[in-house]
A and B are shown apart, each in its own frame.
Chain A
Amino acid sequence: MLRFSKLITSVFLIGLLLSSCSAPALDDYSDVQFELINQNGETVIFPDDFAGSPLVMGFIYTHCPDICSFITANVGKVYEEISGGENVQFALVTFDPERDTPEVLKTYAQAFDMDREPFQFLTASPEVIDAFMSRVSVRTQESYSRDLEDGERMYFISHSDKILLIDKNSRLIFDYGGSMTPVNIIIEDLEKL
């Protein structure tokens, strides 16, 4: 009986150890469908078009001078630094669809030398983006605006600082602070998938 109880305890503790180090899904996006457009004007369906391999996804707007550039760069660095990452997909989705058209996203991607495979910069209609951001728990709020001399309205957006790691089955596995998360952490997590 003593030996049996040791066995049970061992199994329990090992199971606890494994479960604490592996990553249970935080969410499952396989039941939704969003029609997005990439920087080349091509339609991309989330999550269907990404199913089959892991996806690193960040959230930005191109008029963001500080945080979003680091989210963008972090997504780029994960690709540059991961070994054997040819099956990993990378996407950055804007939450400012009014200004971030596919053409604007393309020039933004070019500035970061990311207008190339495997990077996709995605936008959609404001209604679709609102629903999409709500589904992936990215919060936004216009925070600062004023009218410029040329009549243009300048505004900035407070927003969640996020990069998501989604597995090949469209399940959310990790939710990182986007701009400040060390890239090696994301790579380690990707390698566990």
Chain B
Amino acid sequence: MNASFIKVLFLAFAIPFFFSCTSEEEIQSGAQLELPEDGIEIVDAWARPGRDGGVSAIYMHVLNGSAETDTLVAFSSPVAGLVELHETFDRGDGMMGMRESEEPYFPARSIVSMRPGGLHVMLMQLNRALREGDEVELSLTFSQAGEFTITAPVRSPE
């Protein structure tokens, strides 16, 4: 068997194997966000659907343009009996878990992104169903920047 024949066979085997049997990892690129000159801005908030009596999650980007770390001290929403800051985490054993975030801190001149599979504002004890096209009001109180009330559209996860 000559060497060129083996090379051809190897390439015929290896190239399709490599390209057809490996999956390309999707890279999620975030939106281009600019810090405000001062204070806090909240952008791109959205909520996922939830059943009446059930739960939902709100995602957003929190942009802290101030020179000080700020802390989230309170939440409320007219659609939920209970609102908390939670985070989903990979337990490292093939299971996903969730816990209340113990660090509701927003560092100076930084962006904290709440995204699926990570940090999120959790709405519990929903008093009505949240369906695609609805809107959810959420009030967030920061120790430095004060209270913000935002409106998050409900949409299915993308």
Partners in one complex: yes
A interface residues (Cβ-Cβ under 8 A, vs B): 2, 5-6, 9-10, 13-14, 16-17, 20-21, 62-67, 69-70, 73, 76, 104, 107-108, 110-113, 139-141, 143-144, 148, 154, 156, 158-161, 179-180, 182, 185
Q: A2-B1, A17-B17, A70-B116 are in contact. Are A65 and B52 (CB under 8 A)?
A: no
Pair B157/A158 contact, Cβ less than 8 Å: no
Contacts of B16 in A (CB 8 A): 17, 21
- CB-contact partner of B17 in A10, A20, A73, A182, under 8 A: A20
- The size bracket of the interface on B is 35 or more
In the bound complex, residues from chain A placing their C-beta under 8 Å from that of B20 are 21
Q: Which residues of the other chain, A, contact B107 by a CB distance below 8 angstroms? A: none
Q: Which residues of B contact A67 (CB under 8 A)?
A: 88, 96, 98, 116-117
Contacting pair B120 A141 (CB below 8 A): no
Tell me if A10 and B95 are in contact (CB < 8 A): no
Q: Quick check: B95 and A139 within 8 Å, CB to CB? A: yes
Is A111 within 8 A of B23, CB to CB? no
Interchain CB contact under 8 A, A107 and B116: no
Closest to A73 in B: B157
Q: In whole angstroms, how far apart are the Cα atoms of A180 and B28 in the complex?
A: 11
Secondary structure type dominating chain B contacts = mixed
Residues of B within 8 A of A110 (CB): 51, 129, 131
B51 touches A9 (CB 8 A): no
Cβ-defined contact, B17 with A111, below 8 A:
no
Cα separation A1 to B24 with both chains bound (whole Å): 42
Give the nearest-CB partner of B59 in chain A.
Answer: A66
**A residues less than 8 Å from B122 (CB atoms):** 65-66
Contacts A13-B9, A66-B117: A108 and B54 contacting too (C-beta < 8 A)? Answer: yes
A108–B39 alpha-carbon span in the complex (Å)? 38
